[in-house]
């Protein structure tokens, strides 16, 4: 099926490439011309395992093409996906101006029937707004449907998640829209849940908020374990063995970050309030998340006493492993806080250093974790890349001035670190 994607970022590019891989003809457009020029050469603009091959293969086969105009997208695809940003405003509400702008562009180019599908994460009622905007700006009698198709991919596993999803959720309010989406997703062979548009919109906010809640629950437990002298990994493992709870997302650390959880939890709280419900639980989820980072910084201070002038190696900058995305990265926030306190930080991340330098101009980086650790008073594990799990501990110890590791992701085994001669601190473990 001819399909267009407006907004060729993390979601749009992966979605477009995966639809092409599953046999559809896809046009991905973006306002960022430099991005499109790169993609036309078959070079992905973000790091995601498997993406480069997928883009190259589908560009070569002609199933995946790129463009720079939204009018072109409307002319091309019977289905038009909107995958533009919905960033947070200072009060936590979602900034829907990109959604509105794209809806107007679509309206102005409507000539024959189009199914307009929102894939961006939006507050409930956005679908109605999109429909109103298109009706207002489109030629009279224009034929279109609006649907919501929330995206659940995880950065770092985006291609895998999109090709083999747990479930496809869409909100469609006409038989025609539902049948088109069923046909489009048929090659993915995944369970489909078709709902009304509002419920689909809520499913996305509710899912991300629930996952964030699980992380904050683990972090609250970690704080308690630190006080009680218990081991949070044992506690969460014991909990996770209960099928009703499950082990996923119960990992204590320095908190969740990224371009989704922080903004989605805040936006969900904000829309709930706007509708008349005070979702206080979500406020607490956010507070615990910030507390996790502060408690980690306190641990660093407890270990170093005076942070100013200390040499600190930071392992990890991306908001999670297997991505170069540093948006709202807690690792980056920790590095920033330490720099503000006068520490000399040298960082290493397998993929995130370039983007991190855009956020922290002048950030000192290294070509390897060992180089980052050279002469350091302390090393901080901030993102749980596999490369760090496999570190040569003897080599690391030799590189450091003082072999102290503070592990913000509970990646290392405390026994092994002790045996290797490190002063080792982690989160919620004795």
Interface with ligand NAD (CB under 6 A): 6-12, 29-32, 35, 70, 83-86, 98, 101-102, 120-121, 151, 153, 155, 259-260
Confirm if 171 and 198 have CB atoms less than 8 A apart.
yes
Confirm if 197 and 148 have CB atoms less than 8 A apart.
yes
Tokens 């629930």 locate to: 210
Terminal alpha carbon distance of the chain: 56
Name the β-bridge partners of 148: 118, 171
Tokens 């072999």 locate to: 403
Confirm if 95 and 86 have CB atoms less than 8 A apart.
yes
Task: Tell me the residue number closest to ligand NAD, measured at CB.
Answer: 9
Q: Compare residues 102 and 212 and give the one whose CB is closer to ligand NAD.
A: 102
Q: SS3 for 325-347, per residue?
A: CCCCCHHHHHHHHHHHCCCEEEE
Nearest approach in angstroms of CB 311 to ligand NAD is: 34
Q: Which entry of 18, 28, 83, 260 is annotated as an active-site residue? A: 260
Closest Cα partner for 312 from 215, 254, 377? 377
Q: Is 225 a catalytic residue?
A: no
Please report, for residues 80, 145, 152, 186, 196, the alpha-carbon distance to residue 178 in angstroms, rounded to integers and kept in the order given: 14, 10, 19, 12, 10
Nearest approach in angstroms of CB 349 to ligand NAD is: 18
Q: Compare residues 102 and 420 and give the one whose CB is closer to ligand NAD.
A: 102
Nearest approach in angstroms of CB 83 to ligand NAD is: 5
Quickly count: other Cβ atoms within 10 Å of residue 344's Cβ: 17
The Cα–Cα gap between 266 and 261 comes to 8
Q: Compare residues 9 and 255 and give the one whose CB is closer to ligand NAD.
A: 9
Q: Compare residues 70 and 236 and give the one whose CB is closer to ligand NAD.
A: 70
Cα 34 to its chain centre, rounded Å, is 23
Quickly count: other Cβ atoms within 10 Å of residue 358's Cβ: 9
Rg (CA), the chain: 23
Tokens coding 397: 């110890």
Q: In what helix (H) or strand (E) does residue 384 lie, and over which residues does it extend?
A: none
Buried b (16+ CB within 10 A) or exposed e, 302-336: ebbeebeebbbbbbbbbbbbbbbbbbbbbbbbbbe
Q: Compare residues 98 and 315 and give the one whose CB is closer to ligand NAD.
A: 98
Q: Compare residues 70 and 272 and give the one whose CB is closer to ligand NAD.
A: 70
Active site residues: 260
């Amino acid at each position: 099926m001819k399909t267009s994607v407006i907004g060729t970022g993390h979601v749009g590019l992966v979605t477009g490439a995966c639809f092409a891989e599953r046999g559809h003809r896809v046009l991905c457009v973006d306002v960022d011309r430099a991005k499109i020029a790169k993609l036309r050469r078959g070079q992905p603009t973000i790091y995601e395992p498997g993406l480069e091959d997928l883009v190259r293969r589908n560009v070569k086969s002609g199933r995946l093409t790129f463009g720079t105009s939204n009018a072109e997208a409307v002319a091309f695809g019977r289905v038009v996906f909107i995958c533009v940003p919905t960033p947070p405003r200072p009060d936590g509400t979602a900034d829907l101006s990109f959604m509105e702008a794209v809806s107007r562009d679509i309206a102005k180019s409507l000539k024959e029937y189009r199914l307009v599908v929102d894939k961006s994460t939006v507050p409930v009622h956005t679908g109605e707004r999109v429909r109103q905007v298109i009706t207002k700006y489109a030629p009279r009698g224009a034929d279109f449907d609006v649907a919501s198709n929330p995206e659940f991919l995880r950065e770092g596993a985006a291609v895998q998640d999109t090709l083999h999803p747990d479930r496809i959720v869409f909100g469609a309010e006409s038989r025609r829209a539902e049948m088109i989406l069923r046909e489009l997703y048929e090659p993915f062979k995944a369970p489909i849940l078709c709902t009304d548009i509002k419920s689909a919109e809520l499913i996305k906010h509710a899912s991300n908020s629930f996952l964030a809640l699980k992380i904050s629950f683990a972090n609250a437990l970690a704080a308690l374990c630190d006080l009680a002298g218990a081991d949070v990994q044992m506690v969460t493992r014991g909990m996770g063995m209960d099928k009703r709870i499950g082990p996923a997302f119960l990992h204590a650390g320095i908190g969740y970050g990224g371009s989704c959880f922080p903004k989605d939890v805040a936006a969900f709280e904000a829309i709930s309030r706007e509708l008349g419900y005070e979702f206080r639980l979500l406020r607490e989820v956010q507070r615990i998340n910030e507390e996790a980072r502060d408690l980690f910084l306190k641990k660093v201070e407890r270990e170093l006493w005076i942070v100013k002038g200390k040499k600190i190696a930071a392992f990890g900058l991306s908001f999670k492993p297997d991505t170069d995305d540093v948006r709202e990265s807690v690792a980056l926030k920790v590095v920033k806080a330490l720099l503000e306190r006068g520490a000399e930080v040298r960082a290493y991340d397998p993929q995130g250093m370039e983007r991190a330098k855009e956020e922290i101009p002048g950030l000192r980086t290294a070509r390897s974790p060992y180089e980052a650790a050279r002469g350091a008073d302390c090393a901080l594990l901030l993102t749980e890349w596999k490369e760090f799990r496999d570190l040569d501990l003897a080599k690391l110890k030799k590189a450091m001035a003082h072999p102290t590791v503070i592990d913000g992701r509970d990646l290392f085994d405390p026994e092994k670190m002790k045996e290797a001669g490190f002063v080792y601190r982690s989160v919620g473990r004795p």
